[in-house]
A and B are shown apart, each in its own frame.
Chain A
Amino acid sequence: MAAAATNHPLVQLHRISKHFGEGETRVDALRDVSLAVYPGQVVAFLGPSGSGKTTLLNIIGCILDPSSGSMELDGERVIEDGRWLRSDLKSLRLDKIGFIFQFHNLIPFLDATDNVALVLQLAGADATTARARAVELLDYLEVGHRRGAMPAKLSGGEAQRVAIARALANRPRIILADEPTAALDSKRAGIVMDLLRKVAVERQAAIIAVTHDEKIFDRFDRIFGLRDGRLETYIDQDQRIPVA
């Protein structure tokens, strides 16, 4: 199922902590979380509300500052002792990370092709190249026949596949997905997970998802369990053994 973890990790966290507020109002959202995700792996963060899943996803996505710890993305150390080593986090996200959202978050005034091409143009590609690559990606995700459709005209599954194409546009090796199947029925959720696996394997990317969707648990290589900000368990699907 999972690609062997023979390479360097694409995401490596070392004792990442995050707290909000101080004194009596202090809330520890994450406590000393360390983990590694390797190319080709599809992993999930699982846990009850307030367990720190989204906080962890936000830190890996470079949209939230940690309080302490260090992090490496795609071989580059980006956080050291809780401080960002790069100032331009937007550029960092554009280069290294693709995002998939619960409700696809496609830009409603751009058609499917332009939603994908936009990311490429933001990264500096010219319009023709960007559109050609966008069409290629849409075909790859089997939604090429809907390339001219506006998001409002796409079905949930089609919209999510366009969103995946957008996440892949800049060839990021880290894909973060926030409840990627929550708005889909079982069949479409399965199709989306199959696509994510295909992407992970063929592009040697790391897919990290936050999910509550039990019907897709068996689609992940590893599931990290979070409770009260701590990484308590993880399940390695290859070994099928919960690890404390």
Chain B
Amino acid sequence: MNLAYRDIRHNLGRFLLTCVGLGLLLGVVLAMIGIYRGLVVDALTIARAPAVDLWVVEANTRGPFAEASRIPGDIREAIARIAGVSAAGSITYQTVETEHMGDKLRLYVIGYEPTRPGGPPEIIAGRGIARSHYEMIADQSTGLTLGGRIHLGRNMFTVVGLTRYQTNSGGDPAIYITLPDAQKLQFDLAPPAARVQLARGSGSASRDTVNAVVARLHPNASSDAVAETVHRWKHLTAITQEAQELILTRSLVDRARRQIGLFTSLLLTVSAVIIALIIYTMTMEKLKQIATLKLIGAPDRTIIGMIVQQALALGFIGFAIGATLIVNIKDYFPRRVVLEPDNVLVLGLIVFAVCLVSSGLGVRAALRVEPATALGG
């Protein structure tokens, strides 16, 4: 006779309500873990999108994501000719705010050369950019659709392709346009400002400036060796893909990452305390029954089994509810929530361990109760 099951069945509504409460709490913990992972993944997504080995940026900067970097656009030709480099492309990054369907829309604009590295990693609908001007590929999270038109700067762009999961570390969805369009967007002044510049005699400076040149290497080429070659040009710095990812995770999103990490730890601690309290309270409510069981001769293992099984059932059902909830609503979060199976598994193991330890408190209380407590009123 399984006493834990019988007790749960007898108080099913209350038990399930407790499980739902715990599930919501564990769902929040899972969501925080997902947000934490999403932050890191978002930070790395744009850097990984071009699938390159080397980033060439302005000397003494850690650009183009962590710091501003500006280098001449024609550097790409020089980089492409270095031994070991198979392809190179110029690239620009900027954030713009525009309007779409009456709502403000923040976009991370990536300018690239369509025949060279730097474009979107995949196109899930439509096609790539085929014309030199006013076409764009948009991340689907922008809400833009194929054929949609949107103002960027002084020009109207048409969405010809859609990609996905392309956001910057701030969560702004990315769009891809041609490098000349991006440079124009970045450097062309509005007419009044341009007139002022002309009046001051500044004229129109060359706008062939990019934020970085990305390079793919031949399979046997050493990225360190190519970087060393680039370093000989004193006005450039070369950063390997691995170093770029480190900059992003250790520098750009480090504070946010640690903030969410700490909050997640606190939330996990609170959850552990609440689980312990629930299980302890569940046991304390049954002390008279436990005393009766002891008095009629129930061995300790029967009583321990009942408490531990209920604690584990509570943890398992609560965790299942929380995980199901978050898996089903994670796509509705404004920022990306990434739930890796290993994260879910680790949290599951933590909940399992917390339930076991918490049931230990209940077991301790149960084993200390005197059978004589069952006698009398």
Contact = CB atoms under 8 A, between A and B. Distances in A.
A117 B295 contact: no
The contact size tier of chain A is 20 to 34
Contact of B298 (A57, A61, A102, A122): A122
A114 B1 CA distance: 8
B284 to A, nearest CB: 15
B1 A121 contact: yes
A58 interface: yes
B277 interface: no
Contacts of A119: 296-297
A5 interface: no
A210 B142 CA distance: 80
A122 B289 contact: no
Interface string B278-317: 0000000000110011111111001000000000000000
A93 B294 CA distance: 9
Contacts of A121: 1
Contact of A61 (B10, B293, B295, B377): B295
Q: Is the interface of B mostly helix, strand, loop or mixed?
A: helix
B372 interface: yes
Interface in A25-82: 54, 57-58, 61, 63-64
Contacts of A105: 288-289, 292, 374
Contacts of B372: 58, 63-64
A93 B1 contact: no
Nearest to A182: B377
A178 B294 contact: no
Interface string A81-105: 0000000001101110001011101
A209 B85 CA distance: 98
B6 interface: yes
Nearest to A99: B295
B293 to A, nearest CB: 7
A25 to B, nearest CB: 20
Contact of A94 (B7, B289, B296): B296
Q: How large, as a class, is the contact surface on chain B? A: 20 to 34
Interface string A213-224: 000000000000
B293 A107 contact: yes
B288 A93 contact: no
B207 interface: no
B195 interface: no
A127 interface: yes
Contacts, number: 72
Contact of A90 (B10, B289, B294): B294
B81 interface: no
A114 B302 contact: no
Contacts of A150: 10
A166 B295 contact: no
Contacts of A93: 295-297
A109 B11 contact: yes
Nearest to A57: B375
A114 B376 contact: no
A118 interface: yes
Contacts of B11: 109
B377 A102 contact: yes
Contacts of B288: 105
B297 A90 contact: yes
Given A102-B376, A178-B375, A94 B297 contact: yes
Interface in B340-377: 370-372, 374-377
Contacts of B375: 54, 57-58, 99, 101-102, 178
B4 to A, nearest CB: 10
B10 A109 contact: yes
B9 interface: yes
A110 interface: yes
A177 B371 CA distance: 15
A121 B288 CA distance: 20
Contacts of B302: 122
Contact of B289 (A57, A63, A108): A108
A123 interface: yes
Contacts of B298: 90, 122
B15 to A, nearest CB: 11
A121 B297 CA distance: 11
Contacts of B10: 108-109, 150
B371 to A, nearest CB: 5
Given A90-B294, A122-B302, A166-B296, A63 B370 contact: yes
Contacts of B3: 107, 109-110
Contacts of B7: 109
Given A94-B296, A101-B374, A109-B7, 5 more contacts: A102-B375, A107-B292, A109-B3, A118-B296, A178-B375
* The 3 residue pairs across chains A and B that have the minimum distance between CB atoms: A94-B297, A109-B10, A109-B7
18 contacts: A54-B376, A63-B295, A63-B370, A90-B294, A90-B297, A93-B297, A94-B297, A99-B295, A99-B296, A99-B375, A101-B374, A102-B377, A107-B3, A114-B1, A122-B297, A166-B296, A178-B375, A178-B376
